Amino acid sequence: AQSVTQPDIHITVSEGASLELRCNYSYGATPYLFWYVQSPGQGLQLLLKYFSGDTLVQGIKGFEAEFKRSQSSFNLRKPSVHWSDAAEYFCAVGAYSGNTPLVFGKGTRLSVIA
């Protein structure tokens, strides 16, 4: 079974600074990988996904993520954070074989300060 670790529970960055949120997964084959964002009081929204091909994927709101097989990682990045990016971010992994649902990490809460 697959699993996901998001090592950082809470991160604070200054507006305009760069951002990297870490995600490590455990799965025996190439997984499907996702990042979702949850604004306060809302459901989750898909930011980006990786299924195959180019390991650098672009998403909405200026986010990108890079799949690194050797490190079992799928870190989320943004070059310049905006105050509206304050939210909780979830990494998720899906198995390529079988039909089991996504497994989510425990999330990283992002705070943005002026």
Partner 1 sequence: DVKVTQSSRYLVKRTGEKVFLECVQDMDHENMFWYRQDPGLGLRLIYFSYDVKMKEKGDIPEGYSVSREKKERFSLILESASTNQTSMYLCASGTSGRAGANVLTFGAGSRLTVL
Which residues contact partner 1 (rule: CB under 8 A)?
A: 9, 31-32, 34, 36, 41-46, 49, 51, 90, 93-96, 98-102, 104-107
Whole-number minimum distance, CB 114 to partner 1, in Å?
A: 26
| Of residues 35 and 78, the one with the C-beta less far from partner 1 | 35
- CA atoms within a 13 Å half-sphere pointing along the CA-CB vector of 8: 18
Nearer of residues 59 and 112 to partner 1, judged by Cβ: 59
Closer by beta carbon to partner 1, 46 or else 56: 46
Q: Find, among 28, 65, 37, the residue nearest to 50 by Cα.
A: 65
- Alpha-carbon distance of 34 to 43, in angstroms, equals 15
Record the tokens describing residue 58, joined without a space.
């672009």
- Kindly state the smallest distance separating residue 32's Cβ from partner 1, in Å: 5
- Give the nearest distance from C-beta 89 to partner 1 in angstroms: 11
Q: Which residues of 85-104 are buried (b: 16+ CB within 10 A; e: fewer)?
A: bbbbbbbbbbbeeeeeebbe
